Amino acid sequence: MKTQLTKIAFAAFMAAVLLTACSKDKDEVEDNEEEVITTLKLTFTPAGGGTALTYQFRDPDGPGGIAPTTDEIVLAPSKSYDVAIEVLNETTTPAEDITEEIAEEAAAHRFYFQPSAGSNITVSNLNTDGNGIALGLASTWTTTATATGTIKVTLRHYPGNPPGKAAADPIDSPKSGTDIEVTFNTKVQ
């Protein structure tokens, strides 16, 4: 009986040693490689030349934490601008340019622009994907008289295979889901 007691104690000891050894495994290292979209940057180049303007939504630490900043888009009246969109992940150094990936998978992405009534901004001339359907990484914004308002910029992404993107798809099409939905205040002055 005594030998059995010794055996059990020994087994327990060995197991405890083994378990403790196991539990001190690898050091904690940062291996967070998940895509986070932190920044939506709009660059306005006035038609016919002039200084380019840049306005952005920026949340450098990703969702949560420090609140994001949203610029007010200030444009001159009765003017037309060529707008280029950049989408970035600034949690990494250097920042990851997601714009390229969107351009590569243009048939699975689509930007929508929804200026509020009375903002005196219209968005047209969206660039297209390989099938000739709107993509919106490049567009033309035209202003009229001075006004204040908002504009909502939405990026929808089609997870389907094939994506099944169609020209008539509304912004809330069940075929696509929202990746970006940012509302900027606008001022035409």
Distance separating alpha carbons of residues 45 and 111, to the nearest angstrom = 19
**Region 89-148 residues binding another protein, contact defined as CB under 8 A:** 91-93, 98, 101, 105, 108-109
SS3 at position 19: helix
Pairing of strands 138-143, 80-89: antiparallel
Task: Check whether the bond before 163 is cis (ω within 30° of 0).
Answer: no
Q: Does 168 bind another protein (CB under 8 A)?
A: no
Candidate ranges 20-28, 47-55, 75-83, 119-127; the one touching another protein (CB under 8 A): 20-28
Q: Does 161 bind another protein (CB under 8 A)?
A: yes
Q: Does 166 bind another protein (CB under 8 A)?
A: no
| Minimum CB distance to another protein, residue 164 (Å) | 8
**Region 24-43 residues binding another protein, contact defined as CB under 8 A:** 25, 28, 30-40
Candidate ranges 47-55, 65-73, 76-84, 136-144; the one touching another protein (CB under 8 A): 65-73
CB neighbourhood size of 11 (10 A): 10
20 CB contacts (<8 Å, ≥6 apart)?
none
CB environment 173-186: b (16+ within 10 A), e (fewer): eeebeeebebebeb
**Site residues (CB under 8 A) for another protein?**
1, 4-5, 8, 11-12, 15-16, 19-20, 22-23, 25, 28, 30-40, 57, 59, 61-65, 67-68, 91-93, 98, 101, 105, 108-109, 157, 159-161, 172, 174-175, 177-182
